[in-house]
Chain A
Amino acid sequence: MSPVEFWTVVLAGALALCAPIVIAGLGEIFLERTGGFNVGIEGMMLVGAVFGVLGAHVGGVWVGVLAGILAGLVLGLLMGIASAIAKADIVIVGIAIGLLGAGLSVFLFQALNPAGSTNQTVQTQPPLHLPLIEGIPVIGPGLAHAGTFFYLSLVLVVLSWLVLDHTRFGLRLRAVGDDESVARTRGISPTRFRLGAAVIAGGFAGLAGATVPLASIGTFSPGMTGGAGFVALAVVIIGRRTPFGLIAGALLFSFFNSLALLAQTQSLGLPVELFQALPYLATLVVLCVVSRRVWRRGHVVRRASMSPTPSPEPEGAR
């Protein structure tokens, strides 16, 4: 394979793979802007995946997508009520929902597909061909075949940016995360916004999970999200909690992920496990660099405080 062909394939893979991370990350941005942190994102995605397949069984791919979103909304609501209203620690609630979601996805899968029965495939995303773009060197084929879900994620990125930056709702949301007591004085209810942000995060996570089986595979298998949710958490911080930064981080991860997939079929000189580790390693390195730069800038102005930083707040992301 020539170098140009090689990188074209890798890039095409990166674009096709990044949608779940981007979508899940967008929901997480809303949540982190109110001061939250969703450790249970992976469980929500798995529930979204299984409901996505179930819904698609019933009424086709878009019904599946809707089912995934609804399932995610419910779990998000659960997390919101538990953390914002009942004031339970959001990290522990997140772990609980992660376990619950993962278990529930397998539970439903096993209940509706008892051992022995064959796995039916469902309708997947509608094919999207963009012949005009295909001609562009290197990235053309990737963009042309990235699929509906990829472009859906881009639309969601723009929408999220509009909401966060240009609506009163978005400003209020950011106010809650910036200074909770001041927000309350201004009549903004932190509880309500945290609850809302959790529901949004859940919905996005459910949608992201649904896109995993419904992109091309068409079936559910336990644990099929493969850590994409956790990666989204890291990528949100790398992207400084902005929708456009998120895309950059997600593409970084997907790029290496795609490379790893290619390494499985072609011998690339280095052990395949190294390529499999590379996406996580790259993410980790960038995470350190980003946290360090933000920390350095904030350190000069920030004085040593006697009070601790609130527990779930992801440090290194201001």
Chain B
Amino acid sequence: MTALAAWLRRRRGPLIAALYVVAGFAVVFVLVVATGGDLGAALGGWFTGAFGDGYNLTQTLSNATPLALVAIGVSVALRAGVVTVGAEGQLIVGAILSTVVALLLGPDASPAVALPLGAVAGVIGGMLWALPAAVAKIRWNVNEILFTLLANYLAVSLLTYLLRTVLRDPETNASPQSPPLPLPSQLPQLPVSGRIHVGIVIVALILLGAWWWSRTRQAFVLEVYGSRPVLAARLGLTPRSAVLAALLVSGAAAGLAGWMQVAGVTQRLEPSVSGGIGFAGLAVAVLGRGNPLGIALAAIVYSALGTGAAGVQIATGTTPTAIGTVTQGILLLTAALALAALQLSRIEKADTIAAKTETVPA
């Protein structure tokens, strides 16, 4: 074997991972070209759509904010081996509760009171919607993926009902939506071009807090629970507490994101408040490898794929905007494949080391 071949063989894991990434890009390019788009124009259009011209950049960051928030909550659950796709429903209920609180507080409350109350309401709403899934899993061993999925649909029905009846805006006759939130309950916007509210600062702080938390004993034991529940029990974490913590934290994060949606983005409760954030949040949690910096970056990249897609459509004229969602799916797939390749090579290396010491007497 030549030296090069041996070098390649040793780095097999990272090489295969890189191959997957290249393949992913290739597929996307093929799709763009197949719909008649010029690749150069498409790339330029994507960049402009995602990051160009101030307004677009703001939009990308604004979309990334709730995504990162949901993802950090999901990543806590993933540590414990709990897979939750219920962010959509939890976000909706959080948004509902925040709206109710805001409307109750009215236009004369002080923002120093209204904003924290709204946030708390969002958190409580999200946790409330996540709680049944936790109970079902603990008591009856119900698969949490299915429970949270079905609970999403229930939340949507609840939202539609409330928007049609109790929370309906009496002013408009068009699509059902709530009255606008009173001013004190609205999140102030940042003084930049485009619309982005101070929630991004809040999320950044939360990410920092998450980084600090990941160094604590609780985080360690939660992760042990993910692979060896009994060992975690010895360290004081029972399955009941682990599942509860996992789902309640992710629910709280999603609920808080729901508050940010109504208080910062739309300023009222609308039917389309959530939009598939459950799967997207999980995707970002996986792409970000569960650590706050990774999640922040992944959230930005992920939402950039969405905002950039409109730019691609404009630049090429023929490539549909759905190229954004397609690319997001391909991105997640290649990431999953690359991670698997890296892990397989790590396992292989470890097994070789173990085999060597097996035949040598201690």
What residues make up the interface of A, taking CB atoms closer than 8 Å to B? 37, 39, 43, 78, 82, 86-89, 91-93, 95-104, 106-107, 109-111, 227, 230, 233-234, 237, 271, 273-274, 276-277, 280-281, 283-284, 287-289, 291-292, 294-295, 304-308, 311, 314-316
Question: Nearest chain-B residue to A311 (Cβ)?
Answer: B81
CB < 8 Å: which of B154, B229, B280, B283 contacts A280? B154
Residues of A within 8 A of B337 (CB): 82, 86, 88
Residues of A within 8 A of B161 (CB): 271, 273-274
Least CB distance, B232 to chain A, in whole angstroms: 10
17 contacts between A and B (CB under 8 A): A37-B145, A89-B340, A92-B332, A98-B279, A100-B333, A102-B329, A103-B326, A237-B146, A273-B164, A276-B160, A277-B158, A288-B142, A291-B141, A292-B140, A306-B229, A308-B226, A314-B143
Least CB distance, A99 to chain B, in whole angstroms: 3
Alpha-carbon gap, A184 to B282, bound state (A): 33
Least CB distance, A62 to chain B, in whole angstroms: 27
Least CB distance, A189 to chain B, in whole angstroms: 17
Alpha-carbon gap, A43 to B161, bound state (A): 28
CB < 8 Å: which of B31, B142, B154, B320 contacts A291? B142
Alpha-carbon gap, A283 to B151, bound state (A): 11
Known: A95-B282, A100-B333, A103-B329. A295 touches B322 (CB 8 A): no
Least CB distance, A6 to chain B, in whole angstroms: 22
Residues of A within 8 A of B214 (CB): none
Alpha-carbon gap, A111 to B142, bound state (A): 41
The CB with the most chain A CB atoms within 10 A, among B230, B321, B325, B333, is that of B333
| A87–B142 touching, CB < 8 Å | no
Alpha-carbon gap, A91 to B84, bound state (A): 11
Residues of A within 8 A of B151 (CB): 284
CB of B83 within 8 Å of the partner chain: yes
Residues of B within 8 A of A291 (CB): 136, 140-143
Least CB distance, B30 to chain A, in whole angstroms: 12
CB of B235 within 8 Å of the partner chain: no
Residues of B within 8 A of A284 (CB): 147, 150-151, 154
Residues of A within 8 A of B139 (CB): 292
Residues of A within 8 A of B136 (CB): 288, 291
Known: A93-B336, A100-B333, A107-B320. A316 touches B142 (CB 8 A): yes
Known: A271-B165, A292-B141, A308-B226. A103 touches B147 (CB 8 A): no
Residues of B within 8 A of A289 (CB): 140
Alpha-carbon gap, A87 to B336, bound state (A): 9
| B157–A277 touching, CB < 8 Å | yes
Question: Nearest chain-A residue to B164 (Cβ)?
Answer: A273
| A308–B227 touching, CB < 8 Å | yes
| B329–A86 touching, CB < 8 Å | no
Residues of A within 8 A of B153 (CB): 227, 277, 280
| A277–B142 touching, CB < 8 Å | no
Known: A96-B283, A274-B161, A277-B158. A315 touches B322 (CB 8 A): no
CB of B250 within 8 Å of the partner chain: no
CB of B208 within 8 Å of the partner chain: no
Alpha-carbon gap, A306 to B231, bound state (A): 8
Residues of B within 8 A of A39 (CB): 85, 145
| A93–B333 touching, CB < 8 Å | yes
Mostly, the A contact residues are helix
Alpha-carbon gap, A99 to B334, bound state (A): 13
Residues of B within 8 A of A316 (CB): 140-143
Residues of chain B in range 257-291 having any CB-CB distance to chain A below 8 Å: 279-280, 282-283, 286
CB of B328 within 8 Å of the partner chain: yes
Alpha-carbon gap, A67 to B231, bound state (A): 51
| A315–B143 touching, CB < 8 Å | yes
| B140–A106 touching, CB < 8 Å | no
The CB with the most chain B CB atoms within 10 A, among A89, A107, A316, is that of A107
| A86–B340 touching, CB < 8 Å | yes
CB of B110 within 8 Å of the partner chain: no
Residues of chain B in range 306-331 having any CB-CB distance to chain A below 8 Å: 318-330
CB < 8 Å: which of A88, A103, A283 contacts B325? A103
The CB with the most chain B CB atoms within 10 A, among A43, A103, A276, A283, is that of A103
| A103–B150 touching, CB < 8 Å | no
Residues of B within 8 A of A103 (CB): 322-329
| A315–B154 touching, CB < 8 Å | no
Residues of B within 8 A of A308 (CB): 81, 226-229
Least CB distance, B213 to chain A, in whole angstroms: 23
Known: A82-B336, A316-B142. A110 touches B147 (CB 8 A): no
CB of B183 within 8 Å of the partner chain: no
| A102–B325 touching, CB < 8 Å | yes
CB < 8 Å: which of A110, A227, A294 contacts B322? A110
Residues of B within 8 A of A92 (CB): 286, 332, 336
CB < 8 Å: which of A95, A307, A314 contacts B279? A95
| B279–A99 touching, CB < 8 Å | yes
Residues of A within 8 A of B343 (CB): 87
Residues of A within 8 A of B149 (CB): 230, 233-234
Residues of A within 8 A of B319 (CB): 111
Question: Nearest chain-A residue to B151 (Cβ)?
Answer: A284
Residues of A within 8 A of B333 (CB): 78, 82, 93, 96-97, 100
Q: Top 10 closest A-B pairs, CB basis?
A: A100-B329, A103-B325, A110-B320, A99-B329, A273-B161, A277-B157, A292-B140, A96-B333, A103-B326, A96-B332
Alpha-carbon gap, A43 to B330, bound state (A): 13
CB of B339 within 8 Å of the partner chain: yes
Residues of A within 8 A of B146 (CB): 230, 233-234, 237, 287, 314
Least CB distance, A296 to chain B, in whole angstroms: 9
Residues of B within 8 A of A283 (CB): 150
| A89–B336 touching, CB < 8 Å | yes
Alpha-carbon gap, A295 to B31, bound state (A): 47
Least CB distance, A72 to chain B, in whole angstroms: 16
